[in-house]
Every structure is written in C-alpha cells, then in structure tokens.
Structure 1
Amino acid sequence: MSAAMPPFTRIPLATPAPFRRRLDQLGLLVANDEGLPYWESQAAYQIGAQPAAALLKAAETLQALCRRAVATIVDTQDFSPFAIESAAMQAAITASWKASEAPLYGRMDFSFAPDGTPKLLDYEADGPLGLPEASYLQWEWFEAFPAAEQNGASQENLIYEKLLTQWPRLELLPRAAIACGGATTADGRPGDTAERFTAEYLAETAREAGVALGLCSIEAVGWDGDARAFTDEQDQPLAALLKLYPWHWMEQEPNVETLGVNRTRLLPAAWTRLLADKAFLAVLWTMFPDCPYLLPSSLDAAAIAGDRVAKPCRGGDGEGISLPNQSHESGAPLLFQQHCRLPFFHAHEGRAAYAALSVWMVGDAAAGLGFRESTGPITDAGHRFVPHILRPA
C-alpha cells in the first residue's frame, strides 16, 4: 500500500514553560530509547472537526463488528484462532460474554489509505498504557494556551467524562482494587512506574464517580482457597480486581485454573481478551471483508497478497513487528496484515516523525484522540506522545 494521506498536520508549537515544569515533575520529559523526551513539547498535531468525527465513527463501527465477532466465537465455541489451551480461560470468556460484562477502556490504532480512509492496525483492548496522557494531561496542555479557545480551537477529548459515566455501569461491589505491575515497594505497594500512573488515574476517576477502588501491586495479589477469591496486599478477599496485566499471561500460569472457581470479578471483562489478540484481526477480516476500515489480515502468510507485516499475535505495543522483506519471529503465532505505512512528517532538527493516531474507547463509545510518533516506521509503548488541537469546522 502506498503512502498514507492523513487528515491531520504536524505543526511546530512550543509548550509554555509552566506546563513544561509540570511534565518534568511527572517524569514525562525523560528521554526514551530514541534519546528524545517521551512527551513532545515542541510540536502538536492539528486535525479538523469533520475528519475527527469520521475517525470516531470508524472506531464505533469497528466496535460493533467486534461485538458481532465475539458473539459468533462464543456461540460456536471456536477458540482455535487464539490458541487458548486452558479450558478455564475459555469458560471465563464465555461466562463474561453471556453475563454482558461491559468493557472499560481500550485503544484502536490507525494508519490511513492513500485516499485518507482510516485503517485499523491494532486494538489494544487489555490495559493499554498512555491513558492519562491522552486524557487529562493532554487537556491540561491545551488549557496552557489561553488564546486557543478564543480562536475556536478545542480538542477531541472526552475520555475523562466518559470514564465517569462508565464506572457506575460496571456495578462493582465494595472491596474492589486495581493491580499494576512494575517495581514494588517494601510494603507491597506499586512503585513509580508507567502502570502506576495509569492505575492512579483510573482509581481517581472511579472515586469521582462514586466507586471505591484501592491500589495494589500485581505481585501482592494472592489467592484465598477457602474464600475462593483473589486477595489484596492485606490478604483480604476482593469482590473485584481490575488488572493491568494481560489475560494471555495468566493462561501460562498454574493459577489459571482458579478461574473455574473464582468469586472475584476480574476486569477488564474476560471476553476482551479476544479483542486484544492480534488473531482477532484475522477473524474480523474473514467475517467482514467489505468493511472499509479493515486491512486484509490472516494467520496464513500466503493469504495476504503484496507487502505484508508480521505481528506476534500476543505481542503488545509494536513488539516483534516485522516489516516487508524482514525476517520475523519463528515459533510464536503470527498475524500477517497488509502493510499500511504510517503517515510521515519532517520534524524539527531534521528528524523523521512517523505518526500513529489512536482512538481511545470507553465502553463501546469513542472517547478521544491521541497521537504517538517515532523516528522509525513502528511505534511502541515508549515512543513519544504528541498532543493535538481540534480545528473548528
């Protein structure tokens, strides 16, 4: 597929000093693997109201197709594309779907066809990082420019508001907690990591919505066989546990069998484990090949004509992706997807900037936009976050 024609532009825009100090305090100006600050403070992406609305529509259209696909998988009990060997995990997915458990949040990553049509690259539906940046921090950045609103500009960003609405819909019982990975302090609490940043934000929005949600390290989560429940760092049984820990990791652990007797409600909903697997993109393409927002995708390399990329089915943000004419991982299940190049821009100081646009989902609704960029054609969790401005119609 030839170069993308994105409906947005990259503009030089220096972040005001007071907000730069805020970013520095949060550790968001620390250099990433490219030697550049994680938060891009010298530029922004600018998009018009009409193309932004079209992106939200595309994401919600895809979300509806995702639900139809999950319904078919559960009805047929055909989990073969996902290589889920655990019967307990399959049962948890089925029970979660049949109980109509609501999703909490996720992130759809897009590139664009030559005619500007958005094309889904990935759906990070199982605890993606970058939520606080795309939500309240991006809005604080916008408010640091007093003249912006006077000129009619805004931001496509209702993530915070939609989270406040979504929390009560989950109907969580008392004694709920959110667990995150990364470093752990001596008392079992989460250390200062990107996951904790996300966990603290989620806990705060839950509290504002009237939902009490504690915070603990995933390493401190235990199992009470008598109560048949997961426990927090105080060894107290939990009614609900929101984990920033991929479902597919649990499948590789002995305690996956606890899912069959577990009384703790685990979030995100178990059925979203299917959405987060790259193999789901092949399922979507098989079921909905006429959807304009999907790229040809298959678990069989020979089924994808022309240039294609290879992605580990259980890989996270940008992990293990092989571009056309590159060798790819052997042994791991792979998704093969028609290559759709990321939009390319020339950044300041002669740097290349490959931009990935994301639509953040809250529940089944599109909630806002986020941009990330890298100096190479693949973005991952460590690449730069770039704020955006919504131009008036």
Structure 2
Amino acid sequence: MLSLRRLRAPTPGPFRDRLRALGLLEPGAAGGAPYWNTEAAYALTADEAARWLQAADTVHALCLRAIDAVIAAGDYAPFGIQSANMVSAIEQSWRARETAFVGRMDFTLDGNGVPRLLDYEADGPVCMPEASYLQWEWFESWKAAHGAGGEDQENLIYEKLLDMWRKLRLGGRLAIASGGDADGDGAPLDTAERFTADWLADTAGEVGLDLHRCGIAQVGWDTEALRFTDVGDAVLELLVKLYPWRWMEREQNVDALPASRTRILPQPWTRLLADKALLAVLWTMFPDCPFLLPAALEPGVLDGPVVSKPRRGWDGEGVSLPGQPAATEHGPLLWQAHCPLPLLDGVHAAPSVWMIDGAAAGLSFRESPMPVTRIDARFVPHILAP
C-alpha cells in the first residue's frame, strides 16, 4: 500500500536565505511558482525508500542486458541514429565501458505502491545538486529548527559521486562542457547549467581533480594528439559533457569519436540508455518485471489507456495523455501504458531515484499541479519517517 505523505514543512529562515542567494526561489517558468517549494516535504518510510532503490537497481541491470541485445543485433533504427561514427563510438564504448556516470530514473507508483518506471534521464539529468547537498542541508536545517528526532533522508548522492571520481583514476587535463553559451573563461551563462557544472567540478576537486569549465561550442579537436581540446586549446584526458548525445551526434566533431583518445562521460553507449525506445525493448524482453510499464514503438499495440511521448524528448516534452492527440512534431514516439503520478494535496508527485555509476544513490521529488512533470516542476525535499 502507498504510504507516501505530503507534509506541511515550512523551510527555516536561514536555509530560505540560502536558497534565495542561489536563485532557487525564482519562478521555474515565467509567471510560475518558485522552483524550490519552501512549504512542503514528502515523507515515506525507510522500507518504502529501500524498495524504490531496489527497483532502480533492478531496472538498471535489465537496461544493460537490453543494450547488449540491441548492440548484438545492430538494429539502431528505433533509436534514430544517423551517424555511422556515432554507432562505432557506441559499440567501442560498450566493449570498454567503465561507468554509467549519473542518471535519474523517474517513477510513478501503481495502486499498490509499486514503483513503475516512466523514464530514465541518463544523459544530462537536471536537479542533481538540489537532490544531493542542498536537499541534505534543508534536512539538517529543518531537523534543527523543529527539534525532530528519528528521521533521516535517503541521500548518498554526494558520497557515491566522490567514490565514482576516485574510481575513474584520472590524470591530465579535465574539462566539463555545458550545452549552452559560455563566457570567455568557459563558465556557463545559463544558471541551471552553471549550478550543475560548478557542483560536479567542486565534487571532483574534493578528490584532487581539477575540472575546468567550457562551453560545448568551445570544444575543439587536435588532429595530431587525437584528443578533444578545451577553451584554452589544451588537449583533454577527460571531457564531461552536459550536452545530450542526440545533439552531439549531429555535429561535425562526431566524426572524431571513434579515433578519440579523450575519455568522455557519459560514454557514447548511454545514448541508448537515455533513449525512450529502450523502454519498448525492455518491455519486450522483460514483460514480467513488476517495475516496468508496457511500452511499444507503434500505436494500437497496447491494451488500455496509453501515453505517447517523444523517444528523444526530456522532462515531459511532448507527452500526450490518453484522449489527447499525439505530439508528432517532436519526432518519433513511444507509447506507454498510462500509470498516473500519485496525487497528494491536489498536486502530482513525481518521485525519482538518482543513479551514480550504475547504482541507486538517493531519492528526490518534484511536483506539479498538472499530471505531466515538465521543466517548470517544483523541487520538494523529503524525509524518512516511521
């Protein structure tokens, strides 16, 4: 049974000031509500949280088996990959894979409280800093202000991120490239991208790594070193990109990928992991998995109410609910059985499990008055309580 609760939990003044200084009390969209909800929190039991993490670990393992089957068959048509060099990079990186980097699995809950996967945002997911250290800071502030005891939070994102950086055993010049515009020093101009880039760079710095910033347009290619270069034209040992593979594969530098000696995170094989076409592959291969929803690449295949969504959309882009016309302007679609988000206190709750290096690391929540969670959804912290 579903034990998730939405609590009235006013954010203490000092932490509210911290959010304001970070720009997180600005509206998530023009005319909308502040991005961080300072008046609420979600509460769930430790056992329930453990089930969600176990569901995410189970699904991730199935994703790896599905990707292995796709690559073995060599059938990339459902994924819309046009570049032969991108295919080559995917296959090379799959054979040598070392990490899945970071991702966010978005779930809904069925009537029995069982997590059911909606999407796997595995290529540049948003709100990781909020889910990690800021959510924990909120918890510490809230707990101190209310004299609460016995509560906890399902949140090891920070710790597991540090472990991932250590595991990579990196050296040489390292850079993180944002997708949007950057200033002359490589700092992202977009607030959300800068927030994420700074957070990743700071965590890397804590284990002795110097992760320089640059914009994706500032990344070049050294034909002699066979490496990508950063804003200072220095050759790179590692490039972390906050820029989807589905965009990068349409650009000129994609031709350099098969020969590149620069390690790129997330690796090219995650192009398949982040594509919603994989949800249909998962359902075909593992229809008995309790954490999956029926999914298909063609309309009229599934029984009952279905949702259509772009195979390469993100954060609710182009999602059409039952009874609505499919939004074909966003490209090829996936059809998925409709399992509504939990409705609590008049808002739709969207739980997520964060994955670090292929393992579940913590929970976060966003919510919306609308039944589809979009980019302007509000972040809401959580606690574990009896």
Q: TM-score, normalised by structure 1?
A: 0.94
Q: What's the CA shift for 1:42?
A: 0.4
Residue 204 (structure 1) aligns with: 202
Letter in 1 for 2:12: P
Letter in 2 for 1:154: D
Residue 349 (structure 1) aligns with: none
Within 1, Cα distance between the matches of 2:85 and 2:3?
Answer: 44
Alignment of 1:1-393 (within 5 A): 6-33=2-29, 35-145=32-142, 146=144, 150-330=148-328, 332-346=331-345, 352-392=346-386
Q: What's the CA shift for 1:89?
A: 0.9
CA RMSD of superposed structures (Å): 1.5
Letter in 2 for 1:323: L
Residues 28 and 375 in structure 2, CA contact (< 8 A), matched pair in contact too: no
Please state whether the residue corresponding to 2:291 is helix, strand or coil.
coil
Residues 309 and 334 in structure 2, CA contact (< 8 A), matched pair in contact too: yes
Q: What's the CA shift for 1:359?
A: 0.3
In terms of mean alpha carbon deviation, does 228-237 or 366-375 score higher? Answer: 228-237
Within 2, Cα distance between the matches of 1:31 and 1:129?
Answer: 16
In structure 2, the CA distance between the partners of 1:183 and 1:252, relative to structure 1 (3 Å rule), is: closer
Please state whether the residue corresponding to 2:373 is helix, strand or coil.
coil
Please state whether the residue corresponding to 1:32 is helix, strand or coil.
coil
In structure 2, the CA distance between the partners of 1:369 and 1:322, relative to structure 1 (3 Å rule), is: same
Within 1, Cα distance between the matches of 2:172 and 2:146?
Answer: 42
Please state whether the residue corresponding to 1:373 is helix, strand or coil.
strand
Size of the aligned set, in residue pairs, is: 383
Please state whether the residue corresponding to 1:361 is helix, strand or coil.
strand
Within 2, Cα distance between the matches of 1:249 and 1:10?
Answer: 38
Residues 97 and 267 in structure 2, CA contact (< 8 A), matched pair in contact too: no
Residues 148 and 154 in structure 1, CA contact (< 8 A), matched pair in contact too: no
Letter in 2 for 1:262: S
Q: What's the CA shift for 1:16?
A: 0.5
Deviations 1:280-302 (A, max 9, x none): 10010010000000000010111
Residues 142 and 148 in structure 1, CA contact (< 8 A), matched pair in contact too: no
Identity percentage of aligned residues: 56
Residues 102 and 169 in structure 1, CA contact (< 8 A), matched pair in contact too: no
Within 2, Cα distance between the matches of 1:169 and 1:218?
Answer: 25
Letter in 2 for 1:335: L
Q: What's the CA shift for 1:27?
A: 0.3
In terms of mean alpha carbon deviation, does 206-215 or 104-113 score higher? Answer: 206-215
Within 1, Cα distance between the matches of 2:223 and 2:358?
Answer: 35
Q: TM-score, normalised by structure 2?
A: 0.96
Please state whether the residue corresponding to 1:216 is helix, strand or coil.
strand
Q: What's the CA shift for 1:192?
A: 4.7
Q: What's the CA shift for 1:255?
A: 2.4
Q: What's the CA shift for 1:36?
A: 0.4
Residues 6 and 343 in structure 1, CA contact (< 8 A), matched pair in contact too: no
Within 2, Cα distance between the matches of 1:45 and 1:207?
Answer: 32
Q: What's the CA shift for 1:209?
A: 2.1
Please state whether the residue corresponding to 1:303 is helix, strand or coil.
coil
Please state whether the residue corresponding to 2:328 is helix, strand or coil.
coil
Q: Which runs of 5+ in 2 are unaligned?
A: none
Q: Which runs of 5+ in 1 are unaligned?
A: 347-351
Within 2, Cα distance between the matches of 1:125 and 1:25?
Answer: 29
Residues 188 and 194 in structure 2, CA contact (< 8 A), matched pair in contact too: yes
Deviations 1:333-389 (A, max 9, x none): 10000011011122xxxxx31110000011121100000001101112321000001
Within 2, Cα distance between the matches of 1:381 and 1:106?
Answer: 16
Within 2, Cα distance between the matches of 1:75 and 1:144?
Answer: 50
Within 1, Cα distance between the matches of 2:162 and 2:147?
Answer: 24
Letter in 1 for 2:368: S
Please state whether the residue corresponding to 2:350 is helix, strand or coil.
strand
Within 1, Cα distance between the matches of 2:170 and 2:71?
Answer: 24
In terms of mean alpha carbon deviation, does 27-36 or 54-63 score higher? Answer: 27-36
Please state whether the residue corresponding to 1:144 is helix, strand or coil.
helix
Q: What's the CA shift for 1:112?
A: 1.0
Please state whether the residue corresponding to 1:206 is helix, strand or coil.
helix
In structure 2, the CA distance between the partners of 1:254 and 1:310, relative to structure 1 (3 Å rule), is: same
